[in-house]
Chain A
């Protein structure tokens, strides 16, 4: 089985939000500012006017980090949040009781409540849609015009993502928390 992850060449991001739209469309995420599986963060320009550092501003796409030691999974009382065979962190809506403990425990603010099922939802690497159809991309990767995102199997040494991570320096967010994210930001 695969161990899916994603590398983000975030400096290429132009904040077009195509990935957000594609994700909503692909996975039927409801509209609304509070309901999103992925988002593009905006880094503030640093410095005091007029000494602004233009290069400090930037766009940083983010989403569920598919942690290998996921706090959301650890705190879930009914095991509604689980790792699937591809290492993707998933939510089983039938088991979720909406205690929202996972929303508080996730250090990445990656979870939201789906109003239709009234259960917690988040990015699942298109496991229910694309991957289930046998495709090997995610909607966000597929749509990104500047190829910020590379999705793939971290265990496969020949995959594009493994290649990228070998070649390029990268970091993960809030690494000090020991959650072992599988989203990698290429520097």
Chain B
């Protein structure tokens, strides 16, 4: 089969302009539409500010060079890895119950990573240079190099897997899915290593982040799975979906408990012995409201909802997943901020008359707009996907029609 024939054989719905806007005009849908357009406009405005002022549009400084955009990028790629894991449960590992979400999750993983790339494009000072010299003079000891390169590869595999899923070719979808999953996990742990490799920052240094990133990706994937299913079935879940969600809920109980365990030990090791540059930063983190927002939104609220009846309150979990995702956003922000919060100082006790303090950072308007705009991109791409492709499992789709 020639490439042309292959491409032509991918099932795509014929969609016109009318179909795209031809959705039910319920108040909820209308609000969502306005919100999405608002977010997209924000993205455009943020990019405009960036084009006008360059990096000066951002509030990053010499001491706090990583800002909200990096947190947003991490947020999106974590979501992508998480969705890839969820998607793989069915079509790579063959757990039948999860097959009905595979296609949707894999498509979601493509959408979220594209949005992540769109955000990071405006964070990196010279994206074109990056593409050229990533290839010509690769920094093989750099976690950023591996993360970027592997994510590029991962995206390719996800797209191929998705195409095979659309074509109903389970075998090839499985192969590409498996390789894509492995590359995705490698990429994602490298993203953790970007922080873990910072010998200069004892608070982040070590093996914790590479592993924690995989764990929190899985958790994020489960939250998004609830959101996808909630919107797809308008909270009236068919039996099969209910069964899957209950199972996912049980997995999530395990994952969240594990996360709590992980975080507790991380904090205890950080505090223990009062090691300079680590214990003081840990104290600072414990005293920051963003840390507690993360704990309450990601762990406490969802876990309470899940534990109430072992994951059977699907509608409640749908709402708790919003809490979870908001918490994950805090989690990413905290990660980048906490890494840089302690000045390295280097004898500049008075850095040009400023007394030494914790390093402050608050995102600029452009940073907010591009980051939130990324969410708009996500929603838009996902919505278009639901129109152009059949994201339901084929059987489930038949069931739905009947």
Contacts and interface: CB of A to CB of B under 8 A. Distances in A.
Contacts of A80: 133, 137
Contacts of A173: 346
Given A77-B142, A107-B199, 17 more contacts: A34-B61, A60-B347, A76-B139, A77-B130, A78-B138, A78-B139, A97-B124, A97-B125, A97-B129, A97-B133, A99-B125, A101-B194, A104-B200, A104-B340, A110-B346, A118-B54, A118-B126
A23 to B, nearest CB: 15
B200 A97 contact: no
B134 A78 contact: yes
Contacts of A79: 133, 137-139
A75 B345 CA distance: 21
Contact of A112 (B62, B129, B340): B62
Nearest to A178: B199
B144 interface: yes
Given A94-B129, A98-B55, A113 B349 contact: no
Contacts of B23: none
B279 to A, nearest CB: 17
Contact of B127 (A97, A105, A113, A118): A97
Interface of B: 54-56, 60-63, 65-66, 124-127, 129-130, 133-134, 137-139, 141-145, 148, 194, 197-201, 339-340, 343-352
A177 B108 CA distance: 42
Contacts of A42: 347-350
Given A78-B134, A100-B66, A118 B142 contact: no
B144 A95 contact: no
Interface of A: 33-34, 39, 41-44, 60, 62, 71, 74-80, 94-101, 103-113, 115, 118-119, 173, 177-178
Contacts of A104: 65-66, 198, 200-201, 339-340
Given A97-B129, A104-B201, A118 B55 contact: yes
Nearest to A34: B62
Contact of A75 (B133, B144, B148): B144
Contact of B126 (A98, A115, A178): A98
A103 B200 CA distance: 10
Contacts of A109: 62-63, 343-346, 348
A57 to B, nearest CB: 10
A94 B145 CA distance: 17
